[in-house]
Structure 1
Amino acid sequence: MSRTPLTGAIATPHADATRSAERAFARGGNAIDAALAAAATLCVVYPHNVSIGGDLIALVRDPSGRTRCVNASGPAASTVDSDAMREAHGEMLPYRGIDTVTVPGAVRGWETLRRMGGQREWGEIFDDAIVAAREGVAVSRSLAAAFREEEGAIGFDAGFRETFLADGLPVEGDALVQPVLARTLEAIRDGGAAALYDGELTAAFVDGLGRLGSRIGTADLLLFHPESVEPLTTSFGSYRVLTSPPNTHGFVLLRVLRELEHQGITDPLGADFGRMMERFLAANLVRDELLADPRVTSGDIAELLDGDASSRGDEPVLPGFRRPRGDTVGIAVSDSSGWSISLIQSVYHAFGAAVVEPSTGILLHNRGTGFSLDSSSPNALAPGKRPLHTLMPVMVTDASGLRFVSATMGGQGQPQIHAQTLLRAMAGATAQEAVSAPRAIVGPQRDGDRPSVIYVERDLPAPAREALAETPLHVIETPDADELVGHANLVVVAPDGGLDAGSDPRSDGAASVRAYGG
């Protein structure tokens, strides 16, 4: 018996994940099912960017036109001792190690998303991921490069060495096999998200964390549940831009778009490019000084959108905070039935904490590095508190309905990548053209960077380069199609409902627009 045809548009940073999403559509799933299948596969094939031991934040739009934000970012342990952390680490937390690990929120996030409107069985999410973990996948170009670049910073943890380095440093094309992770995925497939948070895996996982020195306990996992909240929004010309509210830095994008419009900056990708990037620098300083978990620290969103940082010159006033870099995946999916999702999931820095809990094979994120150890900071480490967060899904609507679903990695540069990608798409670029175009990112992307550093791809057009020359920003040139400026994925929805998708050539990804069923 035939079913009503459905068109699905998908863009992810790894071709295997895109194929998993296609299979979900082919089985009768919708955009939510497709995004979840892609996310599970990415947690196996792209461990430098994502794992089930990380966080997730997503925007979901349903056929009625309502959009919700799912914030599955986990908090610090309820028994964390900030004084002990300061004594152990001084002014700021390290980049990696067990002290940077907060409660992983992603799997609970998957559960929440599926309950919002997924059509397929929970277990189907994991089919491709389990096969990939058990039988192995080829190490991709991006993953191989990450192993080379991070060689000096990984390998200190026995679980990590056993999982990823048992046969030496992997190179492109090597087989990556993760049998322990495969068994964990099978347990979550069979027992639901509760298998990790309050079930078959919990006791061994918590015991393993404790042996590594973590303060995360059984209660921290049991009591963790994602938030489902209204998006943060602003108008921009004829569009409305939607993103995630604090504790994420989605406000940075909205703040700068508002400034472009209110200050008459009409050529932000050309002659006004320098002016736009200066505004991103100013917004970054506001983020570094003021952004925190609103559940714990009272904050005024108006101050984030319109206020100024007290920072002066090139350094922030508040010490004790590592400005966010990030290794992340962004998944953009939309379908002709009206479901759309921008899903962002991450381990934070490359390979996260570089710690693998041995009983589960779960690579742990280092999202705790986003906390400040300055007790006067709104973002100061505290029990049960979520850190400042870089994950920020984005959607854009107009009077005709949904127009863009945008998802990117890029750490502290995510708002800037979204802006450059969306501005090109709004000007008429195809989805593929928009994500492929040369771009720049202002702010720290490597150790030792100052806030005013701007990484610029070599083929950035001359008008934008000339505009940057008129600013005090410190230009560092990078090669064309450099991963340092992130992986963007974009779905464009035409006013008549037609779909287009583009996957960033800086990643190992693929985009797909296909009809299913009928």
Structure 2
Amino acid sequence: MAEMNDPANGVRGQNAMVATGHPLAARTAIDMLAAGGSAVDAAIAADAILGVVEPMATGIGGDLLAMLVEPDGRGTSYNGTGRAPAALTADILERLPNRRIPERHALSVTVPGAVRGWFDLHMRHGRLPMAQLLAPAVALAAGGFEVLPIAAREWALFEPIIKGDAAAAAMYRSGNAPRAGERFANPELAKVLQAIAADGPDTFYLGDAAQRAAAANQACGGVLSAGDFAAHRGDFGEPLRRSFRGLTMLECPPNTHGVAVLDALEELDALPLERDDPGTTLAMVQAVGRALAHAKETVADPAGNTVCTVVVDSDGLAVTLMSSIFKRFGSGIGVPGHGFVLQNRGFGFSEPGHINGPGPSKRAYHTVVPAAALKGGRFHCGFGVVGGAMQPQGHVQMMVRLAAWNEKLQAAIDAPRWRLEGAKQLAIEPGTPDRIARALRDAGYTDPEGAGELGGRSDFGGAQFVLRDADGSLLGGSDKRKDGLALGA
């Protein structure tokens, strides 16, 4: 049984652990483990639910990435990010303002990779039938669920994104967004998920969903085609690795900005990192700033919204699975009759000529970075920190707190954070000690209030974390900035 002896440490489980962004997803993941499923089975079931209950963050119109650590310590990353349309040619881009794809323009739509990702991961590590894994999500979409407070707040805040598209406005109740505690159902999505569960990924990538999605995008001025869906493939690969305080950090390679985490931690590993010295936090901010600037020039431009699930099963298989439609409600383009919106990951492209410049069938710079760490060659922790550009910054702050400062897990998650919004624009979360905030402001970092889509309401992310304790038990932590939960077994 799971127990919580010390709330600052998080939830403790002897055999398995789940940390994810919604209680229904967490409980379903535990149920899948109890039914004999693997960590990957549990994570897929949870992710499908998150796409139903947090439609502003993720869904089958978005992408999926994962970091896996097998019981013997072998790490594998999975890149399920979709590509730009094959028809996204140079002449189209030259007509855009500053030759950049606008944030929620029809040309920002890339192929969704999440559905293929579920099946690719399941092929390698699944035990239970996909129909069983997706059944809870189907039931919630068909029968409805109670909208939780943080999801309701974001739904209302970003309602203007969906009101401009008839399909999106209808499916997500534009003008009457569900409040906290109200019920919401998406029967059209339930039918699509049911078909995927019964007939596999081809029903999505080769069927009516692909054709309707392409038509919806083209009607708005995009160039996505059904052929782009048919051509989509995901990739397994080797994670990037770097040492920090005796741990081997595992991050996803490009097209993600996982390398920025490793560059910053490598710089910080050479420093004493005294917890109470404001200079330590300043050094962290500066290291992250340099790492992100390097990533911008060598990988791409950052931003977004995501969900994360971390599962470790009783056999020791661990997975950090993250999915996203990028900006909240993605492109805002709904697929009529199918209950989902298309992602706007193409906004992550730079201008033509840049290494991350847009092009036919090219993957954009991606903010989603599921991660893990090894200790002594075996799984130590799996984690993600959702929130676009907050993701690598959150990784660095969490690992300094845990590996350098030896903080307890839930306390480290709950601690106030900072977020770079620009080279010298730094949001500082309330609760940060005054001496640290003063040191950062004295160093020339200004408040970014009024900047960006959130209008200064900086998103300090949402961490999901599972850690192997010294006694072999598992600790789970879930961020109070989100609606999530950690459950152990």
Fold similarity call, TM over 0.5: yes
Q: Name the CA shift for 1:217/1:371 in 2 (closer, same or farther; >3 Å).
A: same
Q: Which of 416, 424, 440 in structure 2 is aligned with 1:468?
A: 440
Measured in 2, the distance between the counterparts of 1:156 and 1:208 equals 13
Q: Which of 331, 350, 362 in structure 1 is aligned with 2:309?
A: 331
**Residue aligning to 1:365:** 343
Measured in 2, the distance between the counterparts of 1:152 and 1:173 equals 21
Measured in 1, the distance between the counterparts of 2:26 and 2:356 equals 36
**Residue aligning to 2:454:** none
Measured in 2, the distance between the counterparts of 1:269 and 1:124 equals 50
**Contact residue 216 and residue 334 of structure 2 kept, 8 A:** no
User: Are 2:237 and 1:214 aligned?
Assistant: no
**Residue aligning to 1:266:** 273
User: Are 2:389 and 1:412 aligned?
Assistant: yes
CA RMSD of aligned residues (A): 2.1
User: Are 2:234 and 1:237 aligned?
Assistant: no
The structural deviation recorded for 1:455 is 1.1
1:70-129 CA-to-partner distances (Å, cap 9, x unmatched) read 000011001113332341444422221422110111111111111121111111221111
Measured in 1, the distance between the counterparts of 2:145 and 2:31 equals 18
Matches within 5 A, 1:89-488: 89-165=97-173, 168-199=176-207, 201-262=209-270, 264-267=271-274, 270-271=277-278, 272-291=280-299, 323-372=301-350, 374-399=351-376, 401-426=378-403, 427-443=405-421, 450-475=422-447, 484-488=459-463
**Contact residue 264 and residue 291 of structure 2 kept, 8 A:** yes
Instruction: Kindly provide the amino acid, as one letter, of the partner of residue 318 in structure 2.
Output: S
Q: Name the CA shift for 1:253/1:51 in 2 (closer, same or farther; >3 Å).
A: same
Measured in 2, the distance between the counterparts of 1:168 and 1:110 equals 32
**Contact residue 246 and residue 291 of structure 1 kept, 8 A:** yes
Measured in 2, the distance between the counterparts of 1:253 and 1:177 equals 38
Which piece of structure 1 moves more, 360-369 or 215-224?
215-224
Q: Name the CA shift for 1:6/1:221 in 2 (closer, same or farther; >3 Å).
A: farther
Q: Name the CA shift for 1:270/1:139 in 2 (closer, same or farther; >3 Å).
A: farther
Q: Name the CA shift for 1:471/1:513 in 2 (closer, same or farther; >3 Å).
A: same
SS of residue paired to 1:441: strand
**Contact residue 84 and residue 361 of structure 2 kept, 8 A:** yes
Which piece of structure 1 moves more, 338-347 or 75-84?
75-84
Instruction: Kindly provide the amino acid, as one letter, of the partner of residue 46 in structure 2.
Output: A
**Residue aligning to 1:501:** 476
Matches within 5 A, 1:1-20: 7-20=15-28
Measured in 1, the distance between the counterparts of 2:115 and 2:461 equals 24
Measured in 2, the distance between the counterparts of 1:342 and 1:463 equals 35
Measured in 2, the distance between the counterparts of 1:236 and 1:95 equals 36
**Contact residue 46 and residue 143 of structure 1 kept, 8 A:** yes
Instruction: Kindly provide the amino acid, as one letter, of the partner of residue 512 in structure 1.
Output: L
1:181-236 CA-to-partner distances (Å, cap 9, x unmatched) read 11100110111111111246444443444334332223211221101000000011
Which piece of structure 1 moves more, 144-153 or 45-54?
144-153
**Contact residue 187 and residue 200 of structure 1 kept, 8 A:** no
**Contact residue 63 and residue 325 of structure 2 kept, 8 A:** yes
1:157-197 CA-to-partner distances (Å, cap 9, x unmatched) read 01111101256233222221111111100110111111111
SS of residue paired to 1:116: helix
The structural deviation recorded for 1:437 is 1.2
Measured in 2, the distance between the counterparts of 1:483 and 1:34 equals 31
Instruction: Kindly provide the amino acid, as one letter, of the partner of residue 198 in structure 1.
Output: L
Gaps of at least 5 residues in structure 2 are 1-12, 451-456
SS of residue paired to 1:329: strand
**Contact residue 419 and residue 458 of structure 2 kept, 8 A:** no
**Contact residue 296 and residue 302 of structure 2 kept, 8 A:** no
Q: Name the CA shift for 1:85/1:140 in 2 (closer, same or farther; >3 Å).
A: farther
SS of residue paired to 1:83: helix
Measured in 2, the distance between the counterparts of 1:6 and 1:214 equals 50
User: Are 2:486 and 1:511 aligned?
Assistant: yes
**Contact residue 33 and residue 313 of structure 2 kept, 8 A:** no
**Contact residue 159 and residue 175 of structure 2 kept, 8 A:** no
Instruction: Kindly provide the amino acid, as one letter, of the partner of residue 26 in structure 1.
Output: A
Instruction: Kindly provide the amino acid, as one letter, of the partner of residue 485 in structure 2.
Output: A
Measured in 2, the distance between the counterparts of 1:477 and 1:431 equals 30
The structural deviation recorded for 1:476 is 5.3
Instruction: Kindly provide the amino acid, as one letter, of the partner of residue 175 in structure 1.
Output: R
**Contact residue 458 and residue 477 of structure 1 kept, 8 A:** no
Gaps of at least 5 residues in structure 1 are 293-322, 444-449
Which piece of structure 1 moves more, 244-253 or 426-435?
426-435
**Contact residue 208 and residue 359 of structure 1 kept, 8 A:** no
The structural deviation recorded for 1:138 is 1.7
**Contact residue 160 and residue 363 of structure 1 kept, 8 A:** yes
Instruction: Kindly provide the amino acid, as one letter, of the partner of residue 342 in structure 1.
Output: T
SS of residue paired to 2:15: strand
Which piece of structure 1 moves more, 208-217 or 376-385?
208-217
The structural deviation recorded for 1:477 is 8.3
TM-score by length of 1: 0.86
Which piece of structure 1 moves more, 119-128 or 380-389?
119-128
**Contact residue 97 and residue 354 of structure 1 kept, 8 A:** no
Instruction: Kindly provide the amino acid, as one letter, of the partner of residue 472 in structure 1.
Output: G
**Residue aligning to 1:312:** none
1:324-354 CA-to-partner distances (Å, cap 9, x unmatched) read 3211011111123110011111111111111
The structural deviation recorded for 1:408 is 1.6
Measured in 2, the distance between the counterparts of 1:438 and 1:24 equals 34
The structural deviation recorded for 1:364 is 1.0
Percent identity (aligned): 32
**Contact residue 31 and residue 335 of structure 1 kept, 8 A:** yes
